[in-house]
Amino acid sequence: MIALIIIGVIVVLIAVYLVAAYNGLIRRRNQIENAWSQIDVQLKRRLDLIPNLVETVKGYAAHEQATLEKVIQARNAAIAAPNTPHAQAEADNQLSGALKSIFALGEAYPDLKANQNFLQLQEELTATEGRVAYARQFYNDSVLAYNNKLQQFPTVFYARLLKFERREYFEADEAARTAPNVSF
């Protein structure tokens, strides 16, 4: 009788552990999905601000058409990029580089730099860049916690059995880690 009680307690403890491990994996996976959607929201916000910025710059720097086209192409590529961390990071890095060159135009054209609309858009984009950076960090922290959970003993066996898979980080490519070369 005591042996059955001990076996019953062990079975219950194992069941409680399995339920807790599964719920923990689900919670972390959902946190990653939430973090990814926060990145997506901030990237879309930035994409929505770009046409206004381009139109503002056009009026002051019409002969800088190549720079403006580069920004527009980068924006279109970001819109069309697949919704994966790697593809979004690559498109985001290209767009960030293009935006840096358009902001550099503000230095070359004092009238543009003094334009209230340009300054407001620049400020909004700068604030959005900060939100994007925070969202990326939160996403990567969530991925780290999830991937750690997947690799911890004994959850690693349970996670494999239930086909939970590692997630990739949102990483900047090598080009985004260097300052752009802007010349006029």
* pLDDT per residue as tens digits for the range 129-152: 899 999 999 999 999 999 999 999
| H helical segments located in 61-154 | 65-80, 85-108, 110-114, 116-151
Report whether 5 contacts 108 (CB < 8 A): no
Tell me the per-residue pLDDT of 151-174, one tens digit each, with 9 for 90 and over. Answer: 999 899 989 999 999 999 988 665
Tell me the per-residue pLDDT of 53-102, one tens digit each, with 9 for 90 and over. Answer: 888 887 777 667 788 888 889 999 999 999 888 888 888 888 888 888 88
pLDDT at 110: 78
pLDDT at 5: 95
User: For residue 52, what are the contacts with CB-CB under 8 A and spacing of at least 6?
Assistant: 117, 121
Domains and CATH numbers, the chain: 27-177 (1.20.1440.20)
pLDDT at 18: 92
Q: Is the pLDDT of residue 3 over 80?
A: yes
161-164 own/partner pairs: CB under 8 Å, 24+ apart? 162/22, 162/25, 164/25, 164/29
* Residue 100, token pair as written in the block: 């840096």
